[in-house]
Copies of this chain bind each other. A is one copy, B any other.
Amino acid sequence: MAIKGERTREYIIHESYTLFAEKGFKQVTMKDVCEVTGMSRGGLYSHFSGTDKLFEAVLEKITEENSIDFQREIEKGICAVEILEKALKCMEEEMRHPEESLSIALYEYAETVNSDVMKRLNGNAQDRWNKLIQYGIERGEFMEVNVDEIVNVILYSYQGVRMWSRILSMKPKTIRSITNNIRKQLIGEQK
């Protein structure tokens, strides 16, 4: 029974992701979620008390799924360059899909709901990248960069592209220019 409940929860999160990406946060109602999931009002509310909790669950889910677990890879002793390449590929893949961007929903959520979720998720992303870059420097694979500085450039240029890919059509070349620049700053011209 617990497993079934968990599955239903995952299903709701999955279906509502598309809704938030398409419509933002403010325009999505619990009724919309009932419609796309085919669930009853009671059924839905037994899992989520409102679109705020649902959106937070979506954020937790994508953060968990999309982001490579740097810490685990580091503990396994995998090359920093290898982890980086995987992470950049993953970033490129995400930037190539404006229709999946939650930028506007994130903005509207932050505007509407008073919570520290955004701060926490942002802090996590910063920590993850920080650790990877530190690890690469320690292993002598990355150059002696200013870690905090480059982490901000990585995160905000990524966010800028994700937002603007909904405004303008973004060329694959533009997307690659961001990841190439990060690569160059960390491991130099080679590759």
Contact = CB atoms under 8 A, between A and B. Distances in A.
B181 A149 contact: yes
A159 B153 contact: no
Contacts of A152: 157, 174, 177-178, 181
Nearest to A185: B185
A26 to B, nearest CB: 10
Interface of A: 103-104, 106-107, 110-111, 118-119, 122, 146, 148-150, 152-153, 155-161, 163-164, 166-168, 173-174, 177-178, 180-181, 184-185
A156 B161 contact: yes
B167 A106 contact: yes
A93 to B, nearest CB: 17
A164 B156 CA distance: 8
Contact of A107 (B158, B166, B184): B166
A156 B160 contact: yes
Nearest to A111: B166
A164 B148 CA distance: 17
Contacts of A149: 177, 180-181, 184
Given A149-B181, A153-B177, A178-B156, A110 B166 contact: yes
Contacts of A153: 153, 157, 177-178, 181
B168 A110 contact: yes
A146 B146 CA distance: 21
A163 B107 contact: yes
Nearest to A174: B152
